[in-house]
Chain A
């Protein structure tokens, strides 16, 4: 066996704290090593040529590169050795950057560690076997979860590219958060006017199938071939008959139902259509408030409905869709104002959240676009906006910045002046974060042209005084305490992950961070991919972002799916479990532990009962290999022998 070892300097990233020449020298002494060298940038073109040349010149049959993390460059070097005619699994990468040179400053200890990392990689590569991928057909349909602006953009782009799209939206209408906004910054363009055409596109596109008021129940399969079970929640209205006339909503005697669309800014009817531009524009009954469900008698909507669409007996309906890729655009949630006790959130009616204020501003909102104080329905004259209500506050569990609040507060201050010309807005802020195109000019306009008074400092307490709310805070620029008697207080509540983000991630087998936001494959270079191939991210499910960024990610995710589907066949990963039928005793413990049901019982011609791996289903976790009592089932590329060779390389010196 002739192993070639290439030690990368990575500029000074590795060579700065590791004696790379010594590592190469020690590598030359290792059993099996025929050639070892160090090079400035092994991943560069001349660096890769160095490898291919050495393979030819020194008749190398295995290659070890000691450089950065294999999560960075394993594929680069696998391709390099393939070009030189070697099987790509005759390669191992020792991580001497992230795991050595970057975490210790002692050159001597680092060098010893790097030598041992190389020793392990050499031991492993000598046990490696050539593996070959097989190819399988892909189902060129895509599932988009979430019908907000990011999901809609992704769906439209995929469908325009000729793909069939299945869109699942959990609420009765698509549109997401953007449909709730009155205007958008920094153009002060009408939100629904620019979103509406997109919603209509989704509804009318021949290739987009919309399942509104539905949820993902279960996802099975793998990239190219997913089976998705969708639960259509009961709306208690037959949508094939409902014309969206709204008569039921007018006559419904329950007037205190929670309005999810308006974030509880005002109560609504138990049967309702969320907003005039809703798509689909159909009514839904909320059984938590409907008298027919709560008291067992009413039936007013059934009596007035001109098409007889009401059906109180409706049950969950399950359907299955088969797709090849999934775009996750499940959006975000907002911190409950009740969590902000020092601001009196939830206790005082005149302390409201930014999204509720947005609904008051909106012409289709609960007050038809008139700004009111919820307590006495009077027009407020002094309005205080509190930014970072929960955000950038470790004690609230949200240490991050919610991204777009600075901008929407500026917008709301501008709109307030437009609605009530004799009003005065105050904005408490920590920092004004306005890094987008035209954003900083916009926040200045709010101050200079619209006279919003910006106070740098945090609010400590809000309490009522007669009809007013007293906002107590600090002005850190003047170094004084300030007290403002306000008519209305608007809290820019923190952006948090969607309430069911965790469960959704578990269904999709993708990771999420401590805050519930989904983790992309690489923070800089793979922003819409996840570590699960075939699952992509778009919009705020990955982290707080504004509309242009969400739309951009939606298009990016669609482009990823289109490029994935530009092939008819996909290559499978050959690093999967394999059964040695001679050793298998047919106990089938592996079958019980496999998380993917990739193992089935098989009978050989001799009549012997053995386990069999379904190649396309196996994901390569290796749980079966550690379960097997006789070592008969082995995860390729991570076999017992290969891993023990690494253990021995460290322990038996």
Chain B
């Protein structure tokens, strides 16, 4: 065995309860295989995600942060995800000024029925973070 399993990185996901958490469940029920690096935190709405959470995670040990909510105009709380979109887009542009590669942060929209899309989102983002490597030297 010459190949060593690539080391896991630490990726934190904030998922809204109504769409993306359900989408991740749907992906599980459909047995859509995914990389195992992601750890999911359930929030009621993507609008609940304070950009501070993302920064805190990235500064204290995460190598990547993923936020996912309902598709725009399909928010369980009418327009919570619009607030999320503004804040998170702002955050994404701000990260380089804090010395953080903005590719370590991704926000997206996945509905409860989109199990396969969730698989693509997780796989894509995990690969992206792996390409950047670990953020914190141990």
* Residue from A593, A625, A647 within 8 A of B41 (CB atoms): A647
Q: Are A651 and B33 within 8 A (Cβ)? A: no
Q: How far is the CA of A635 from the CA of B12 in the complex (A)?
A: 21
Q: Is B105 an interface residue (CB 8 A)?
A: no
* Residue from B31, B39, B61 within 8 A of A102 (CB atoms): B31
What is the CB-to-nearest-CB distance from B17 to chain A, in angstroms, rounded to a whole number? 8
Specify which chain B residues have a CB less than 8 angstroms from the CB of A103 in the assembled complex.
27-28, 31-34, 36, 119
Q: Which of B12, B56, B76 has the most CB of A within 10 A?
A: B76
Q: Tell whether A106 pairs with B36 under 8 Å between CB atoms, given A621-B80, A643-B43.
A: yes
Q: How far is the CA of A643 from the CA of B21 in the complex (A)?
A: 16
Specify which chain B residues have a CB less than 8 angstroms from the CB of A638 in the assembled complex.
43-44, 48
What is the CB-to-nearest-CB distance from B76 to chain A, in angstroms, rounded to a whole number? 6
Q: Which of A94-149 contact B (CB under 8 A)?
A: 95, 97-100, 102-106, 109-110, 112-113, 116-117, 120
Specify which chain A residues have a CB less than 8 angstroms from the CB of B73 in the assembled complex.
502, 506
Q: How far is the CA of A596 from the CA of B76 in the complex (A)?
A: 12
What is the CB-to-nearest-CB distance from A40 to chain B, in angstroms, rounded to a whole number? 20
Q: Is A467 an interface residue (CB 8 A)?
A: no
Q: Are A622 and B44 within 8 A (Cβ)? A: yes
Specify which chain B residues have a CB less than 8 angstroms from the CB of A627 in the assembled complex.
83
Specify which chain A residues have a CB less than 8 angstroms from the CB of B43 in the assembled complex.
622, 638, 643
Q: Is A511 an interface residue (CB 8 A)?
A: yes
Count of CB-CB pairs between chains A and B under 8 Å: 157
Q: Are A626 and B40 within 8 A (Cβ)? A: no
Q: Is A620 an interface residue (CB 8 A)?
A: yes
Q: Tell whether A595 pairs with B77 under 8 Å between CB atoms, given A103-B32, A652-B60.
A: yes
Q: Is B50 an interface residue (CB 8 A)?
A: yes
* Residue from B18, B27, B57, B112 within 8 A of A651 (CB atoms): B57
Q: Are A102 and B29 within 8 A (Cβ)? A: yes
Q: Are B56 and A625 within 8 A (Cβ)? A: no
Chain B interface residue count: which class? 35 or more
Q: How far is the CA of A106 from the CA of B25 in the complex (A)?
A: 19
Specify which chain B residues have a CB less than 8 angstroms from the CB of A69 in the assembled complex.
21, 25, 28
Q: How far is the CA of A112 from the CA of B12 in the complex (A)?
A: 15
- The digit string for B68-101, where 1 denotes a CB below 8 A from any CB of A, is 0010011011111001000100000000000000
Q: Are B41 and A120 within 8 A (Cβ)? A: yes
Q: How far is the CA of A117 from the CA of B41 in the complex (A)?
A: 9
Specify which chain B residues have a CB less than 8 angstroms from the CB of A647 in the assembled complex.
12, 41, 53, 56-57, 60, 62
Q: Are A99 and B47 within 8 A (Cβ)? A: no
Q: Tell whether A99 pairs with B40 under 8 Å between CB atoms, given A71-B22, A112-B8, A652-B60.
A: yes
Q: Is B113 an interface residue (CB 8 A)?
A: yes
* Residue from A71, A117, A502, A509 within 8 A of B78 (CB atoms): A509
B contact set with A: CB distance below 8 Å: 5, 8, 10, 12, 17-19, 21-22, 24-25, 27-29, 31-36, 39-45, 47-53, 56-57, 60-62, 70, 73-74, 76-80, 83, 87, 111-114, 119
A71-B21, A644-B53, A651-B56 given; 16 more Cβ-contact pairs under 8 Å: A100-B36, A112-B36, A116-B39, A511-B112, A514-B114, A531-B76, A621-B47, A622-B48, A623-B45, A626-B51, A635-B48, A638-B44, A640-B50, A647-B56, A650-B12, A652-B60
11 contacts between A and B (CB under 8 A): A71-B21, A102-B29, A519-B112, A531-B76, A621-B44, A626-B51, A626-B83, A647-B56, A647-B60, A650-B39, A650-B61
A contact set with B: CB distance below 8 Å: 69-71, 95, 97-100, 102-106, 109-110, 112-113, 116-117, 120, 502, 505-506, 509, 511-514, 519, 531-532, 575, 593, 595-596, 619-623, 625-627, 635, 638, 640, 643-644, 646-648, 650-653
